[in-house]
Structure 1
Amino acid sequence: MPSVIRIKNLPKKKLATNTKEPVFVVTSSGCWECISHGLKNGYANIFGGGHRFMWSLWNKKEIPDGMVVRHKCDNSKCCNPHHLEIGTQYDNVQDAVKRGRRNPARGSQLPQFGKIARNARPVIQLTMDGEFVSKHPNGYVDGFSASKIHSTCKGKQSQHKGYKWVYEEDYIIGGNNSCK
């Protein structure tokens, strides 16, 4: 049978918002998973965030502004203070990428890009003066918003990131390529 940990004598201001004292079961990996409070977004729902609460309680200080509490064990249910550390949101995202829980790919590297490319219309990138810059056969350009490019092609906006954009079928070589 797994061990159970009860947290007693919580600070009175904490108990004022939630009278239920946290109870944890200790897993074989040493994680403390809360069984007394429900989960919210995969985290123990103790005073707004079990892992954040336990880090603050254990370290006797508030989480510094701009910092997050990260799980060294990669178990979002874990509230064991020895499995928690402070870091930036960037650090937290990098942890997720390294552990295979987040796809670092962007733009044309995304798995769904092939589907987008098959359904996209070719676009022409122009300077603000209407001079040809380049053609993009799949309607997608790294570093540019595909939806804004297509909004420009449809005449909903005049430019995107300093360029005019037109659908290939609307492009007139040497002609007036102003937005519709």
Structure 2
Amino acid sequence: MLRKFTVLFTKYPISRGMVVYAILWPSSDLCRQLATSGIQKDKTTPVDLPRLARFSLFGTLWVAPTVFTWVKISSRLIPGSSLRVAAVKAILEQFTYGPFSIISFYFGMNLLEGKSSNEAWHEVENKFLQTWKTGVKFWPVVQTFNFALIPERNRVVFVGLASFIWTAYLSFMEASSS
């Protein structure tokens, strides 16, 4: 069975990131749910399993492929892995992929919750700027390290691990009222 996974991951490199995101995204949301349920007065709040499923689906089928594509594009646009090149890629990401990913997160998760496109867009309008400001403080450091030191074949997985923290933050922001 391990050989089958090795063959799958080698033949389809995107599958590695998809497996990572399928586990890490709902795990991040679960951590956020458990942490915030302890803050609430009603400590019997059950875990929201449909929400975990939405996070898993969104992370697996949307985030992993878009991160995979971004890593490929950025590696072709700006070749190299020196610290300077990595910093340029990380900054470029904050003004291209960063806004795209934040908007698609709020919009996509709201649609998966059954909300209308108007309601989803309202969520984007209310939460985008604060989320992006936080991302600009977090992701350039992570991505500079990623682009400078992590081999390309492991970059999506590394970003997945870093996104565990980021996704817990997104989960908190998405669950908070506008």
Give the strand-richer structure, 1 or 2.
1
Pair member with larger Rg: 1
Structure having the higher helix fraction is 2
Q: TM-score range by the shorter chain?
A: under 0.3
TM-score by length of 2: 0.24
- The alignment's TM-score, normalised by the length of structure 1, stands at 0.24
